[in-house]
């Protein structure tokens, strides 16, 4: 087994090992503070407990709760199976691809654990500009997924583009 595979699974386990305790902490420490939560950096960064029953950016919010949970949990489980298959199939040839895949897998599983255990995903990280422009609240698992996706985009756009033969007009 190439060393990239244990790296991916190790990163996935690390993401879960950081994500789940931080969500537990948020539920215990931040939930009693209400929607305002705790200011970390005035005007741009707060920690506030939120229960997210939707997908990213409220996608599927029009569906009934039970249907939405089944779809989101099912999709996340299928994604986890596909990522594990990709890792074990020998299709991961770069260390950075393994890193990205491990981050995405760990984030996916971290959020699936919440959906199965609680029926929602615990979010608590709030970035904002002043008091009017807020980014959607997120968590460590979401962060890992986003970083993993950006790594894959970077690899596919910049690295693959540099390796591709240039096309010069005749």
Alpha helices in 34-166 (DSSP H): 65-88, 95-118, 140-154, 160-163
- Active site (annotated) includes residue 123: yes
Mean pLDDT of 124-140: 89
Is residue 109's pLDDT more than 70? yes
Is residue 167's pLDDT more than 60? no
Q: Which of 51, 156, 54 is nearest to 148 (CA)?
A: 156
Is residue 21's pLDDT more than 90? yes
Question: For the whole prediction, is pTM greater than 0.75?
Answer: yes
Residue 52 and residue 125: Cα distance in Å, rounded? Answer: 12
Each residue's pLDDT tens digit, 77-99: 999 999 999 999 988 889 999 99
Catalytic residue among 19, 108, 114, 142: 142
- Active site (annotated) includes residue 114: no
């Amino acid at each position: 087994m190439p060393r990239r595979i244990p790296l991916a699974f190790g990163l996935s386990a690390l993401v879960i090992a950081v994500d789940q305790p931080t969500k537990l902490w948020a539920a215990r420490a931040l939930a009693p503070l209400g929607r305002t939560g705790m200011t970390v950096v005035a005007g741009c960064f707060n920690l506030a407990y939120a229960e997210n029953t939707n997908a990213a950016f409220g996608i599927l919010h029009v569906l009934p709760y039970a249907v939405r949970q089944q779809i989101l949990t099912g999709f996340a489980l299928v994604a986890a199976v596909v990522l594990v298959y990709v890792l074990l199939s020998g299709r991961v040839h770069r260390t950075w691809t393994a890193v990205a895949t491990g981050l995405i897998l760990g984030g996916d599983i971290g959020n699936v654990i919440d959906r199965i255990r609680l029926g929602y995903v615990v979010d608590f990280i709030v970035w904002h500009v002043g008091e009017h422009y807020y980014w959607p609240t997120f968590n460590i698992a979401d962060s890992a997924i986003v970083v993993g996706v950006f790594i894959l985009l970077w690899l596919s756009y910049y690295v693959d583009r540099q390796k591709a033969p240039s096309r010069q007009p005749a």
